[in-house]
Chains A and B, each alone.
Chain A
């Protein structure tokens, strides 16, 4: 485990955190605007979050 690899993984995790945070925030906005579409928004949010999360894990396991 070299230090550049660890720093790189850290940067990826920051990016993943920001990405999932944005998805969650946008989903909140959308639900507040259209509470009746709660189920559909949540599903779409989870799929997008899961896809980004995969990248984060790939980075962590590459270290």
Chain B
């Protein structure tokens, strides 16, 4: 009897607790539904904004007591080709809030793209809500371009110092060269040599070293509070993969092309090869394009995903709105940041490694047997 009542009591208690929990959750939901909806879209917009390239190098922004948005950062030059060269500062857009007037033409920012408009900045749409305004050719120095210039200058200074230190110390690296030398040797001895081969690796090592350090430094720059996302931009990774594509195919030997268009060689008579080649050659030709394509998607997706995860974890702080949010968000973001520093190296390594592998295919020379 006694045990029965205690069980009943426990069930009642559990039900009560459950009901209370449920009620509190639903109460909280109704109370914050309106706010949290806005907050979530705001966080999403913020992340999307961060992932995109920007026309000005803004570090952060806040709203002051008067309700005005204050942006801290620097404007960048905008270069347009629209029946003549138009150069002006991006401060004319006031972060997309106003229309810029240049030599009697009006330009407006819409979804981070520049369109030619009238004096009021009207954007016309077609049925699918795409703007029909004219788009001038855009050669602007954007945030990503500035970051790339920064890395180019940094690389030039660092490696020039390293080269000078060899001359000064009689063949020994000094200063920053002591840090860079093992990495350079690693790229040469563990990436280029085994994949391309002892005979030909010297032809490709310049490109491999350059692309390795360029991607690595840009990836690491993405982890700084500057908030740049250069290697997470598909146009940048497309450019890098295009270089690999061009070098692979321009330096391809006779054996490389024979491998694509005549993979079976003299092992079969021509009438036996013909039905096989109808399938084989298109696959091989497609492979030429898929290889650099996978390079560009991998780098882009990895860096993009890393930034999204990191920004979402920081966004958790504003969603939770309780004491747990801040340490949780900080801890997770810290852990992911450490992983991202590893990923920054890993993606540079894999891009270089696979490029070297493709160069190895291009440089192959069979001893015909």
Contacts and interface: CB of A to CB of B under 8 A. Distances in A.
Contacts, number: 31
Majority DSSP secondary structure for residues of A touching B:
helix
A57 B302 contact: yes
Interface stretch (A3-11, A18-26, A46-54): A46-54
Nearest to A39: B190
A43 interface: yes
Interface residues on B, range: 10 to 19
Majority DSSP secondary structure for residues of B touching A:
helix
B350 A54 contact: no
B301 A57 contact: yes
Contacts of A54: 294, 297-298, 301
B353 A47 contact: yes
Nearest to B297: A54
A51 B294 contact: yes
A60 B306 CA distance: 13
A53 B298 CA distance: 8
Contacts of B302: 53, 57
A25 to B, nearest CB: 19
A26 B135 CA distance: 53
A51 B190 CA distance: 20
B301 A61 contact: yes
Nearest to A42: B190
A39 B353 CA distance: 13
A39 B357 CA distance: 16
A30 interface: no
B349 interface: yes
B354 interface: yes
A46 B301 CA distance: 17
Interface residues of A, number: 12
Contacts of A51: 294
Contacts of A50: 298, 350, 354
A47 B298 contact: no
A58 B297 contact: yes
A47 B297 contact: no
Contact of A57 (B305, B346, B349, B357): B305
Contact of B354 (A39, A47, A57, A58): A47
Contact of B297 (A39, A43, A57): A57
Given A39-B190, A46-B346, A61-B301, 7 more contacts: A43-B190, A43-B353, A47-B354, A50-B298, A54-B297, A58-B297, A60-B301
Interface of B: 190, 294, 297-298, 301-302, 305, 346, 349-350, 353-354, 357
21 contacts: A39-B190, A43-B190, A43-B353, A46-B346, A46-B349, A46-B350, A47-B350, A47-B353, A47-B354, A50-B298, A50-B350, A50-B354, A51-B294, A53-B298, A54-B301, A57-B297, A57-B298, A57-B301, A57-B302, A57-B305, A61-B301
Give 4 closest A-B pairs by Cβ, nearest first. Answer: A57-B301, A50-B350, A54-B298, A54-B294
